Amino acid sequence: MLFNSWIFVGLVLATMLVYYLPPLRRWQVYVLLVASFLFYAYDSPGLLLLLVASGGVNAVSSYGAMYGRRRRLWATAGVVVNLGLLALFKYGGLVSASFLDTSSGVGHLLCMLPLPLGISFYTFSGISLVVDAYKGNGRQEPPAMRPSLVEHARKTLLYISFFPKLLAGPIAKSKDFFSEIGAKDFGKIEWTPVFKALVTGYFLKMVIADNLKDFTFWMAYPYFEMRGTGSLLLMVFGYSFQMLADFAGYSLIAIGVAALFGYRLPVNFNFPYIASSFREFWKRWHITLSQFLMEYLYISLGGNRKGKLRTYLNLLLTMMLGGLWHGAAWSYLVWGTYHGLCLVVERMACGRRADCIRIGHWRRLSHWLSISLVFVMVSFGWLLFMLPDFSQALLYVKCIFTNYGSVVFVDPKLLPIGIYATPVVLYHALYCFRERAWVRRYVLRFDYVIYGIMLFLILTNSGSASRFVYFQF
């Protein structure tokens, strides 16, 4: 079920109507569970059982990791089952296509397995729950203070399946989410931030991303071979803005919808294209995934505590696995390796300074050149998302150099990319200059005008509806 569909709007409104009825106040968790199951079953009715099974496994294993006698065994079992489900359903086809005979036997069976929507996100949520349960309960509460397994399972199932974050995050920490489970009042909804999050999110998705996709479509093979250098570069940067608008838009919608039911989801994007280093970029892009990889993988591998060489290796391995998490194709592993190498080279050459480029005492120039370099490098990395076939991505880069002068430098039909990318640029620029007196006086003071314009454009200039890019992960 797409966030940008009327049936989703109907589901949210109907759920709110039932959710806030005074007689059903004590049943609010169950109302959300039913809504979440309907949301998931709309696209994957047969795979709803897998989601429920995942919730059940995580409920039992996390409860055992907190209160059982063999807490470490329970935690290990929970993590292994989560990783096993992810490996089987997401990477079974990749393994069979790469190493097995897909015409019959196990190889054929693995290729036929469906890819459950959101499996990467809800298995990561399960791992987070189990690990935190094991690490965070050394004190062992008295039996009278412990919740029952049924109560814990109810909260776990809501945490795993809560529909605003189910398919593409943000990845909320279990301790933060569990602490918010309880009776909610309609009168306590903070309408202003909800309105701003929903309008901005839908604007980024429906006006920016959905319109850009109709032009970046020409990046697909073999269409890009017939485009000039300028067109190829324009599409690369246009796709970069599309990726940001699509996923940041989803995250804002998820945050806004969750707030309608009294739940706060963590911020997932913080103006990533003003990052002046790759380290900063990953603190601004998909923040909850970056924090997950840092806490549960990078630090577990030793982080930066075991010397420079080990630090570089840990960074590279973390990003490689993070890349492979994004999709069941070797190109995603290459993408992760690419970012890992960028982080390693930057750390070797620049240490931990803010800007990855330094030109004498020209601090401002160094800063803007650093931002430009990071943006260009990140944008070319997204080629591997648009062209998962690695050979096609390399051919695209080759065409940038070889198509110069052989065809029209910039196809006029692609110029609207600049128009639809402009709001994203202004979005970042407004953040950069937010403390300037003239911005506060003449822009931020009248922000309701900006939201009115965005709402008008959502109603009048939305692109053709499409799935969110990260739904495939």
Q: Which residues are catalytic?
A: 326
- What SS3 class is residue 350? helix
- Residue 208, both tokens: 């920016």
- Residue 189, both tokens: 């909804």
Q: How far apart are the first and last CA of the chain?
A: 15
C-alpha 68/C-alpha 291 separation (Å) is 28
Segment 136-141 long-range contacts (CB within 8 Å, at least 24 positions apart): 136/66, 136/175, 137/65, 137/66, 137/67, 137/71, 140/67, 141/67
Q: Let me know: does 347 contact 298? Beta carbons within 8 Å.
A: no
The dihedrals phi and psi of 375, each to the nearest 5 degrees, come to -60, -45
CA distances from 383 to 180, 275, 422 (A): 39, 20, 21
Q: Let me know: does 334 contact 325? Beta carbons within 8 Å.
A: no
Instruction: Report DSSP letters for 435-461, one per residue.
Output: TSHHHHHHTGGGHHHHHHHHHHHHHHS
